[in-house]
Amino acid sequence: MRDRALAAEADLLSRYDAALALPSVTADHALSAKLTAIRAEHAAHAAAIKQGYTPPSAPVSSPAPSSPGATTWSPPATTDTKTAVTALAGAEQHAASDRTADILAADGTTAMLLASIAAAESGHAALLLGASA
């Protein structure tokens, strides 16, 4: 579960890096500041997941869980700010759903960490969707 959560955080970090590199995002100082702050929270999530964790020596082969009826989310290629922000919100919602599903199989400490991360990701999605409206 921690490996999946780390992979999801790395994916979100790369998505934020790509969005922050868009000229239209760079030109919008308020949006750039918001995305930079959310990106920093994902870096903190990754650090928290790594704390006290020793990854298994063999690769984890179990697939990431998905909510019933959920589809695999993939971002559109874009340079449009609104589309990029909407895509980030979708990635946040997908990650929150996956972390919530992981909670059911996690030990107490890991479940609390994943719940906190899932809540933050849901909050990020709400903030982003409010920004794109």
Q: pLDDT tens for residues 70-123?
A: 434 444 555 789 999 999 999 999 999 999 999 999 999 999 999 999 999 999
Q: What average pLDDT does this structure show over 114-133?
A: 89
Tell me the pLDDT of the chain averaged across its residues: 85
pTM of the model: 0.81
Vertex 99 angle, CA 30 and 16, to 5°: 30
Burial class (CB in 10 A: 0-12, 13-18, 19+), 41: middle
Q: What confidence score (pLDDT) does residue 30 get?
A: 95
Helix, coil or strand: residue 108: helix
- Confidence (pLDDT) at 58: 58
Identify the three-state secondary structure at position 46: helix
DSSP state of 61: -
Predicted pLDDT at 64: 47
Q: Is the pLDDT of residue 61 over 70?
A: no
* 17 in Cβ contact with 88 (< 8 Å): no
